[in-house]
Structure formats: C-alpha cells, structure tokens
Structure 1
Amino acid sequence: MTENNKKGTYNPPLKGVVVLEFCQYLSGPSAGLRLADLGARVIKIENPNKGDLCRILPIKNQWVGGDSLLFHTINRNKESYTANLKSQEELDGIKNLIKKADVLIHNFRPGVMAKLGLGFDEVNKINPRLVFAEISGYGNSGPWAKKPGQDLLVQAMTGLMYASGDKDNAPTPFGLAIGDILCGLQMVQGIIAALIYRNRSGKGVKIELSLFESLLDFQFESLTTFFVSGKKPSRSAVNNAHPLLGAPYGIYECLEGHIAIAMVPIENLQETIACPGLDNYTQEMVFTHRDEIKALIADHLKSRKADYWLTLLREKGLWVMDLKDWKRMRAEEGYQKMQLEQDVNLDNGRTITTTRCPILIDKNRLLSSKSAPLLGKDTDRIKVEFKLKNLQS
C-alpha cells in the first residue's frame, strides 16, 4: 500500500505478482519483504509444526504474540501457508500452487528442494514461466557447498572483518546481519530482472546467489585494490573508518561528544582547527603518514566540545558531521520529514513501529500496516482461492 493508494490513485509496480517463499531466518525472507513492499503477494510456505525458524530466533529476547520481534520485522505484509512437504497429498497441493505463481524463493541447503521434488528442473516442468530464486551460503557445488551459511561465519570467510576496527584490534564483525540483508536485496534485483526477461521471452529462469558472493561483491572497491596491488589494506592505528583512505578520514572523540571527518584537505583542516604540529604535513603525506596525522588531530580535538568544532568546520564548508544515536536521530527535523517509520497492526490488537521501504515511486511512499502472519493463518483461504487439494487443514 502507498499513501496515495488509500485514495485508489496508485498501484505498486509488482501488484499481481505471486511469490512463494520457502525460506527461513533472514536472507530469503528479506528478499520476500522487499518484494511485498513493492506490491507482490508473498506467501510463506511453512512447516506446520514449527514454521519459519526465525519465529523462535529472538533479538534482545523480545517476543511479540509468541513469535520473535525479528520475525515480525522481516515478515510483515506476507501470508502463511502450512504444508508438510513429505506428505504426497500436501506436496501435490504445493505443486498446484506453483502452477499459478510467478516467483519461487528458497534458501534451504543445497539439494534439499531437489530431494523434495521441487528443484528447478521439476518446477520448470510444472510452470515453465516461473522465476526460481535460490539462496545458499557458498554456492550449490564445490568444496564449500555444505559449510553452514550463517551470517557471522560468512563474514569470517570473506575478509570483511579486517575492514573495521583499528590496526591492533581483533577482526571486527559488522553489528548487523549484513550478509543476509545484502543477499536478500541483491536477490530482489535478480528477480525483477528475471521477471522482465520472462515477460519478454515467456520463459522462466533460475537465479542462484550465495551469501559469500554477496559479501565479496560488497567489498568490490577494496578487493579490486588488493587484486591490482597484491597488498592487503592496512587498518589505521588511530580512528580507522576505511583502510583505503588517508588522513583525516575517521571518527574523533571530543571533550564532549564525537565528530566524523570525511575527505578534508589537510591544509584546510589546519587553517580551521589550528592543530599543533599539523602544519608539518602536506596533502601528499595523508597516506604515507596517515597514523601520525590522525593521532595529532585526535589529541587536539579532545580539547573542545564537538559543537565547537562542528561550528568552525561547517563555517568553512568542510565535510563533517556530529554522531547521533537512534534517539537523537529520531528527534531531528530532517529524519521526521522523511517519514521513514510505519506502524504495523498485530492480530492481538497491538501495534509495533518499524521502518518502511525507503524507495519512493512517483512520490509515493510504499507503506503497509499488515503484520507478519500467524503460522498457517492463510492456509485454508489459499486452498479455496487456488482450488488446491485437501481443503481442510
């Protein structure tokens, strides 16, 4: 739904597209979430006993209506259809549902869908126009195929942890499930491209993507530098923010608060903050003497509050920013103007606040107040609507 859609003036771009989501946890469901935001009808195919295991995966031990808050966050605006895929009768019902779908997404381990009789070759015979989207940890073949595809473990495999933290710190993981989320978003790109191709050619396609490949692609800037030079990027010993960038790029502690300084010429910075010793360095030295320069700046900025430095630096038009936690960010007029939050109505009468899809289309914000589904909530209705077998669940 969109703001204008309430008045019947706008239809989201994927309206009418039916997506079957055979997914667990984060990567596949995050792809389904964005497709739903863009107007697709997303039906989660879940085990009737446990459902998507994300239902029992808490973040900060927060639960809503018996399911984890994480599940509600990543599965809003979807439907839930339960089926025992080891039952031939229920599997036949799923195959009939596949006949009428446009997209199938799964993130089961390699080989699982084929063993169930739902691999690409089998599904393509059922529905030759279907887009079959498959997410794995490390690809479907090769020596890594059976490794556990969990976000932290994939971060550990890709070298990503050596981009954050200071030189003497231990490897530092992202504080988010970055691999899962990126993989889901990249899968959406592939699915939309495949739908365009399908609409031109009449043929469905198979899309394969792994968490490992997504995180490598995420690092294309740094990896290309490594491929060309053969040298591993060195994290800064002081206030590292990007191992490939020179001084003063980083986060700096002040007498009160912190500031972020981006690409600021050393001479301009020195003219503004009058840092003792900084005038001994030139712009040509920001890489070769990076740590020395940053150490000088770091010591000097601790002498005054962040607001003092920000005022000076902004008056000169230099690229700086104060650091905000989420509470301060939400209080800002600029944040409020973007209307990035939406309320989701739960079945128990409660509401939770979450983010909206950040994309605007013809000035329409893509909103939905529909909550994540209770396990199997939509099974009987979908069976009737799609004329599936075994109408009683």
Structure 2
Amino acid sequence: MDLLAGIRVVSFNHFLAGPLGAQILADLGADVIALEPPEGAFHRNWAVANHFVGGQSVNFLSTGRNKRSLAVDLKSPGGREVVARLLQGADVVMENFRPGTMEKLGLGYETLRETNPRLIYAAAYGYGSSGPYKDRPGQDLLLQALSGLAARTGRADGPPTPVGAVVVDQHAAMIYAMAILAALFARERTGKGRLVEVNLFQAALDLQTEALTAWVNGARAASPRGPGGIASWFSGGPYGIYATKDGHLALSMSPPGVIGQALEVPELAAMSEGDAFARREDIARLVTERLPQRSTAEWLPGLEKHKVWHAPMQDYEDLQSDPQLQHLGAFITTDGATGHPVTLISHPARYDGEVPRVRLVPQPLGAQSRDILAELGFSPEEMEGMKRDGAVNWPEGPQA
C-alpha cells in the first residue's frame, strides 16, 4: 500500500495509543521510524494477560508492524546528533510523552519548526498539553472512570462497569492518525506544517457522542445504566443481551410488536413502537422469561423471518472461524521476527478492494538502526563508535 509513500514519520510514541496511531500511518505506506531507548520502550515488555509470543510482547505485536526500529539514547551527544539529522527530513513527528518532556529534550514543536517549517508535529496526551489535569497519568481505565463511560456501562442493578477492551486508547489512536492525515492534506495546499494535539479524555467523550449529546441537551433516565438488562440508559426495549437455553442472544433496535411475533409472546406482540422506551422494563422482563425456553439455534429462524435485528453471542474463540471475518481477511498469520508464528489483526479498511499488507512484522529492537544511520550519512566507523558509546543499539546475530 503506497498511499503515504514518501512520507517519513518519526515516532517517539510508547505504550498503546501512540504506537497504534503510528501503525495506521505505516500500514498506509509511510516510512515510520520508531525511536526507542537502547533498552527498549516500555510497551515492548508489556505482557498483556501475562503472555508473550515467541518472546515478543503482545502489546508490541499489536502496534509494531510496518515500522523500522531505531534504538537511540536521546540524552547522549551521539544520539542527539542522530535525531537532529533524522528530523531534518521528517514530515511528521509523533510523541505521547507527558506535557513538557520533549521541550526538556530540546525537541519541542517551537524548536523543531524553526528548522523544518513544513513539519507536522503531533502529540497525544492524557488530558491535553495544559490545564489542571495535564500532569495526571493518562490510562484507559482512568479515562473510562473520569469520562462517565464506566458509569454508563453495565446493568442498572450492578456497579459501574469498564468496557472489556482498551477502547479509549484505541479510539484516540484513530483520532491521532486522522488528525495527522488532515494536517498533511492541508500542508499540500499551503506548504505549512502545524501542531496537532489529541487527548484521551476527549477521545473518551467522542466515544459517547450520541449518548452524551442526548444528556447535555436534557435527556434523562431513572438510572445511569439500563434497567432489566437493557444495554444502555437511553435505549428502548428490548435493546440488550439475553440468556437462551444454551447461550445468549443480542436483540437490537426492532419494534416490540415484531419481536413479540418472532418470540410468540402475545403481550409483547400487542405493544406499539411508542412503548419501546416507556415500557422497556416490561419488554425486558418478557424477553428474559421467554428466551430460556429454547436454544439459540431454535430462535434464529423466527427472528430472521420477522427481520428482527439480532446476533448470537460470540466470544474470541469464535472469531477466527466466523465466515464474514474470514472473507474480510481480518486475521493475518505470519512468521514473526523471532521465527515464531504470530497472528495479527489486519488494517480495518480497504483501498480499491485491497487491505494493506504486512511489509514488516514487528521488529527486534534497533533492527534497522544501521540502515537508518547509513541513510543519514554516518560512516560504518561512526556507527560502531556510537554503539560502543551507548548512543545507538542494534541486535547482533540472527535477528540482525
């Protein structure tokens, strides 16, 4: 995929939102150079469920593909020289340190734009670059709590519930990449770079645009979470997930009367569309009582006949055999950098019917350090000297 061919991105990102945002640009063909300290970035050692694949961190595997790895010590004179040369030809700089960190390293936006006015400088923060929360740790669960997302998730008779995936980080990564692409497009018209800033707090709000817009404009409900199994505070019945005889079914936005016909419940079949919110607890109760009387498979024909929006519950073990996901090529299994097979989640969009391929599996620390240094004009002797001094690093042996 060459949509961003010729665009060089220098990524100072760590952990999830930043590296994932950079991976999106890398999938699209940008030359993304991931800078890490000689000992490796934190996310390279983050296990996820205490699990490594062929010695590689799952967090790194999920955010590291299609990037070149440069291991460099930003605090050493040699490392600073490498970075200075690298930034001269950069189109985009990405970073997600706490506010002020890059300025302390002499790599802040105002400094870099003086020598590279076309530079897009993109920063992702927990809460923004200023304000009373700017120095707080920005982490997904904390943002789910602060943003109301956890308060609005779960059952009315249960506690606030965090979403089971790091949705704030991942949504922030999409916003991060989108904002950079918009800035690059504007630069093509104006010739000017700019500062792009995103933050996890607002990404968490953006995830809740529909519900939050309803709330701030006066919509209210008796509970912050849906009653009787309803999936959200603002939804009518039976919008939710219900137990069957042998599993669970999700019932979405279909009129109560139609659902009543499909489930053969006369009281429910007699309800109007206007009852969906006003009588949602009654609807949920009737569905809860009826569905356990048959298996999931036994319910499906009737739901399909009446065109009820529904889905049987799947868990992770079901996804790789799902026929639609197989058709879309949602999972990619390939040999990892250590020779151990790894399965990656593919880029979620197609371009002229094609999915961006995996040009580089997530790379060993510093795997491209020598190549990048050579491109910057350093001689082999200079490179070896910088490695001896600890300014740069690359792997020895087979991984090299």
Q: 332-341 vs 94-103, which deviates more?
A: 332-341
Aligned residue among 257, 280, 283 for 1:290: 280
Structure 1 residue 59 corresponds to structure 2 residue 51: no
Matched, 1:380 2:351: no
Q: Which residue identity lines up with residue 301 of structure 1 in the other structure?
A: L
Q: Distance in 1 between matches of 2:74 and 2:203?
A: 29
Quote the Cα distance in structure 1 between the aligned partners of 2:188 and 2:248: 52
The verdict on how the C-alpha distance between 1:47 and 1:174 changes in structure 2, with shifts beyond 3 A counting, is same
Query: Is contact 1:236-1:290 (8 Å) kept?
Result: no
For residue 320 of structure 1, what is the amino acid of its counterpart?
A: H
Deviation digits for residues 218-262 of structure 1 (CA, Å, limit 9, x no counterpart):
111111111110636632222232221100111111111211111
Structure 2 unpaired stretches of 5+: 388-400
The one-letter amino acid of 1:272's match is: A
Structure 1 gaps, min length 5: 1-10
Q: Distance in 2 between matches of 1:162 and 1:290?
A: 20
Which residue pairs with 1:4 in the alignment? none
Structure 1 residues 365 and 280 mapped into 2: Cα distance closer, same or farther (>3 Å)?
closer
TM-score after normalising by structure 2: 0.91
The letter of the residue matching 1:367 is R
- Do the aligned partners of residues 280 and 311 (structure 1) sit closer, same or farther apart at CA in structure 2, a change above 3 Å counting? closer
**Which of 94, 102, 115 is residue 83 of structure 2 equivalent to?**
94
Match of 2:186 among 181, 184, 197: 197
1:229 counterpart letter in structure 2: G
After TM superposition, the structure 1 stretch with the greater mean CA deviation from structure 2, 302-311 or 152-161, is 302-311
Aligned position for 2:7: 17
For 1:207-218, list aligned pairs within 5 A: 207-218=196-207
Task: Normalising by structure 1, report the TM-score.
Answer: 0.93
Q: For residues 180 and 101 of structure 1, what CA distance do their matches in structure 2 show?
A: 25
Match of 1:149 in 2: 138
Counterparts of 2:12 and 2:80 in 1: how far apart (Å)? 13
1:71 is displaced (CA, Å) by: 0.9
Question: Can you list the C-alpha shifts for 1:7-33, whole angstroms capped at 9, x where unaligned?
Answer: xxxx52011111111011001000011
Percentage of identical aligned residues = 34
Structure 2 residue matching 1:80: 3-state secondary structure = strand
**Partner residue in 1 for 2:241:** 251
* Whole-angstrom distance in 1 between the partners of 2:33 and 2:286: 57
Q: What's the CA shift string for 1:343-372, capped at 9, x where partnerless?
A: 233233222111111211111221115221
Shift of 1:280: 6.0
- Name the Cα RMSD after superposition: 1.7
Segment of structure 1 superposing worse, 232-241 or 172-181: 232-241
Task: Determine helix, strand or coil for the equivalent of 1:365.
Answer: coil
| 1:275-286 pair list within 5 angstroms | 275=265, 277-279=267-269, 281-286=271-276
Name 1:221's counterpart in structure 2: 210
Change (3 A) 1:104 1:254: same
1:391 to 383, 389, 397: 383
Letter of the 1:139 counterpart:
G
Please, which moves more after superposition, 207-216 or 282-291?
Answer: 282-291
Question: 1: CA distance between counterparts of 2:339 and 2:357?
Answer: 19
The whole-number CA distance in structure 2 between the counterparts of 1:230 and 1:341 is 40
Q: Which residue of 2 aligns with 1:328?
A: 318
Q: Which moved more, 1:321-330 or 1:222-231?
A: 321-330
- Whether contact under 8 Å (2:245, 2:295) holds in the other structure is yes
Alignment check: 8 A CA contact 2:127 2:199 kept: yes
- Rounded to whole Å, the distance in 2 between the matches of 1:335 and 1:185 is 21
